[in-house]
Structure 1
Amino acid sequence: MHEIPTSLLILNGKSAGDETLREAITLLRNEGMDIQVRVTWEKGDAGRYVKEAQQLGVSTVIAGGGDGTINEVATALVDCAGEHVPALGILPLGTANDFATSAAIPDALDKALQLAIIGKAVPVDIARVNDKTCFINMATGGFGTRITSETPEKLKAALGSVSYLIHGLMRMDMLKADRCEIRGDNFHWQGDALVIGIGNGRQAGGGQQLCPQALINDGLLQLRIFTGDELLPALFTTLTQPDDNPHIIDGKSAWFEVNAPHELTFNLDGEPLRGEHFRIEVLPGALQCRLPPDCPLLR
């Protein structure tokens, strides 16, 4: 019998009681697949489990959760030293699965699990911020970030991506542009930014396509800045006719530097990072990831 490689599933504690998932895992185990499960309880757990996975010599570490879980596992894999670093598998279980959705990971748990275990592993990029924090999907800054970090969970669950917008409109006092300067390869801009998206992946905020051209294996980051003094018109034209919008500035580069005269907040796949200076650079092919053959994020 052909031996099926071992996988270790790192499961976000919120999804630990999912019966469908339990059934899917039991089914695959009955088919002869060796799947070990670890549940995260607090920050840092994912990193420890990745180390354990490497010691066990498993071929895949599956991140079971939303964008934050995927990013935490991906970062820990990138930080692994030595040979035989496991590949990353993705099991989307969060409220906003932006990375999994844009990578065309199947919604059905059993299909996503199968892909995560036996799918072809391809090298993908990850982005590093200020030489330490990573993100696999996107860094968003400005007004959108404040909304995302302050949108109540219940509203998120009920309304999905629309909730971010509605919540933003309810909080008009928070709609203010941030003065900043952004540099990259052959790129320089300064002015007032309403939202900044720096994408390795394409979408954030539960389905907003901020960087629609982004690819995760081209060694580049996509930048999109939403400008505008009149915030509401900018916001609405962005949603209705994004291609023909004077309030959008696009760029691409292997690195970007963002400087602001005051503290800015960037949301890195759900993890807020505050500061006045950010250097964001891509680490090309830093990670092996099991993705569908028709994955739109691969060139």
Structure 2
Amino acid sequence: MYRYAVIYNPHSGHNNGESVGQKIEQALIKNQHKVELMPTEGPKDATRLAKKAARAGFDVVVAVGGDGTINEVVSGLATLDQPPYLGIVPAGTVNNLARMLQIPLDIDQAIENLQQVHLRPLDVGQVNDDCLISTMTLGILADAALNVTQSEKQKWGPLAFLSKGIHALAEHQHYPLTIETPDRHWQKDTQFLLVTLTNSVGGFTNFNPEAQPDDGYFHVFVAPKMSLARSVMFLPYFLTGNFKKIPGMTYFKANEISITVDNQQSAQTRIDGDPSAKSPLEMRLLEHKLQVITPNPDL
């Protein structure tokens, strides 16, 4: 028997977050587990609730939602020396982390997965004072994501982000960056930078086949300047897991990174779908920081 704290937004989706929370509660109680529902009351409240659940001695803290909600829960757990296990019931538009961990996107199957308690280590990124569980974008990809409406996300899913990103390339905005790791130094003029911990980006699960949830690295892509026509020509690279092979693309792995926009212009970043820190960025990987419940490959 385990004690589960279930953190969810009661107004998520079509205001059906409450019913999803109750469904999880009923399934866990049916199997003799103890459950406490913890609905959020506003932005970043999931971080507070995750810390509260850990202090109360819960065995598992369940994040119900997309990458943004999971990020908030992880932000509360990653500061602890002995955090509870992380459980995930994916209920977002993109669900990059859940896709990489092969957690079912079907609610009923995801609830069943919670009760198997098969654990896998999970790396967590730290970006200044923020946590990173999936992706960080800087430049036009971050700007483009700001223009994706909730209705577009619900209607088109990951394709909404891809479409906005391609059109943003036509604006020809670029950023001079200084990027440093413990053993390298670059100065690059780029339209966008992408840092990922997952093989799924924008919901496309074959984006970066090399990435693993516990491999100990940030995977970094620094794009060359591209016209709209050139970006469309390279779209197959994105869809077939060969993004790093785009001519002029800089790709590297590191566990510590410093990133500065050299001309001090405002460069928006987004972490796991939400607006986040601006330059300069100090990034550090917290290797195997959490234990997350995933499907048992032997079953």
Fold-level match, TM-score > 0.5?
A: yes
| CA apart distance, 1:159 | 1.1
Aligned Cα RMSD in Å? 2.3
The worse-fitting range, judged by mean Cα deviation, of 86-95 and 241-250 is 241-250
Q: Secondary structure at the match of 1:286?
A: strand
Among 178, 183, 195, the residue aligned to 1:181: 178
Q: Identify the residue that residue 292 of structure 2 maps to in structure 1.
A: 289
Q: Secondary structure at the match of 1:224?
A: strand
Q: Would you say 1:280 and 2:283 are equivalent positions?
A: yes
Q: Identify the residue that residue 241 of structure 1 maps to in structure 2.
A: 237
CA contact (8 A) 2:99 2:205 kept: no
Alignment CA distance shift 1:80-1:91 (3 Å)? same
Q: Secondary structure at the match of 1:43?
A: coil
Alignment CA distance shift 1:27-1:133 (3 Å)? closer
Which one-letter code corresponds to 1:259 in the other structure?
Answer: T
- How many residue pairs get aligned? The number is 288
CA contact (8 A) 1:221 1:282 kept: yes
CA contact (8 A) 2:117 2:294 kept: yes
State the Cα deviation string for residues 75-116 of structure 1 (Å, max 9, x = none). 1101125x4x21111110112211111221112212212322
Matches within 5 A, 1:32-51: 32-51=32-51
Identity score, percent: 24
TM-score, normalised to structure 2, is: 0.87
Which one-letter code corresponds to 2:268 in the other structure?
Answer: T
| CA apart distance, 1:189 | 2.6
The worse-fitting range, judged by mean Cα deviation, of 104-113 and 166-175 is 166-175
The structure with the greater share of residues assigned to strand is: 1
The worse-fitting range, judged by mean Cα deviation, of 197-206 and 138-147 is 197-206
Alignment CA distance shift 1:79-1:281 (3 Å)? same
Q: How many angstroms apart in 2 are the aligned matches of 1:58 and 1:276?
A: 37
Q: How many angstroms apart in 1 are the aligned matches of 2:183 and 2:208?
A: 18
Q: How many angstroms apart in 1 are the aligned matches of 2:196 and 2:169?
A: 26
Q: Secondary structure at the match of 1:41?
A: coil
Alignment CA distance shift 1:146-1:210 (3 Å)? farther
State the Cα deviation string for residues 46-80 of structure 1 (Å, max 9, x = none). 12222321233111000001101101101110112
CA contact (8 A) 1:222 1:251 kept: yes
Q: Secondary structure at the match of 1:74?
A: helix
| CA apart distance, 1:190 | 2.1
Q: Identify the residue that residue 121 of structure 1 maps to in structure 2.
A: 119
Which one-letter code corresponds to 1:47 in the other structure?
Answer: T
| CA apart distance, 1:127 | 0.6
Alignment CA distance shift 1:208-1:142 (3 Å)? farther
Alignment CA distance shift 1:171-1:273 (3 Å)? same
| CA apart distance, 1:287 | 1.3
| CA apart distance, 1:210 | 4.9
| CA apart distance, 1:194 | 2.0
Alignment CA distance shift 1:203-1:49 (3 Å)? same
| CA apart distance, 1:182 | 1.5
State the Cα deviation string for residues 193-228 of structure 1 (Å, max 9, x = none). 222111122233343755432222122111112212
Which one-letter code corresponds to 2:249 in the other structure?
Answer: I
TM-score, normalised to structure 1, is: 0.87
